[in-house]
Every structure is written in structure tokens, then in C-alpha cells.
Amino acid sequence: MRALVQRVSEARVTVDGRVTGEIGRGLLVLVCAMQTDSEAQSLWLARKIVNLRIFRDMEGKMNKSLHDVGGATLVVSQFTLAAETKGNRPGFSTAAPPDLARKLYSHFSAQVRSHGISVANGEFGADMKVSLVNDGPVTIWLDTDEH
């Protein structure tokens, strides 16, 4: 699985003008399941994100996790993270098929929630509008194939 993690002071997802997910301080996680992924990758990714120490401590150093700051997550499915860009038109053939991707997206959200973190979600497969205030800015790329 792949994830683009952004530390935010607020983030929101809307579908057709309706808010489907919204958080204050926490992490916006754009997540993509790949063809070869299973629940094992979802579990690893959730644990990694929940424990990332990317929030400031009293000295201003990135040393605190979501738990430490009482942060939430907004999880948004993002198959375009699988983009292959050898040419000018991206290809997405390595992304998981929709049924598997939906299953792993739901599993990932549940795993984050199982760590006691509040989770809001986008709407899988929908045309979503995501707005955020990136705090820092801090943006981190994670790929379970690289751990």
C-alpha cells in the first residue's frame, strides 16, 4: 500500500457539496492499495502512521505521535498514487482492482481506529473535493514495499 500523509490543522472532504469527512488537528492520509497488497500491508501501514512522531513537542521538534497530541485522521482513497509515469499519460495498472481496494481501504481505516484514533473518511470511488491546511508544511510518503 502507498500513502501520502500530511500533517494538518484541519481537513475536509466533500462529495456533491456534502461533507463526508472532516477533522481538526491530525493527519490527512491519501491511501492506495496495490494489486499485490493484503491485510498485512494495511496493518503495517496503519501502525506506522499512528506511531509516526511528526507533531511538535515543547521544543518545537517533531517528536510526538497522533496519540500524544490527541489528533485524528482523515482517510481518503487515492488510486492515482499508483501512477506509472514513464510517458506523459499516467497508467494505473498496478493499482488494486476496486473490490480489493475497497476492502483494504476499509481495513486500513478500521486498523487506525483500533489504535484509539478518531477516523473520518472520504467516499470510496467518488469524485471528492479535499481541502486542507497543511501544518508545517509536513508531507510524508510511505510505501509498504519499501519497509
79 is catalytic: yes
Beta strand 18-23 pairing with 26-32: unpaired
137 torsion bin: left (phi>0), alpha (psi -120 to 50), beta (else): beta
Catalytic residue from among 73, 78, 111, 144: 78
Distance CA 103, CA 110 (A): 11
111 is catalytic: no
94 is catalytic: no
Q: Count Cβ atoms below 10 Å from residue 33 Cβ, excluding itself.
A: 29
Catalytic residue from among 35, 80, 92, 139: 80
Close Cβ partners of 4 (under 8 Å, ≥ 6 residues apart): 29, 30, 78, 81, 139, 140, 141, 142
Catalytic residue from among 79, 108, 111, 144: 79
Distance CA 73, CA 51 (A): 12
Catalytic residues: 78-80
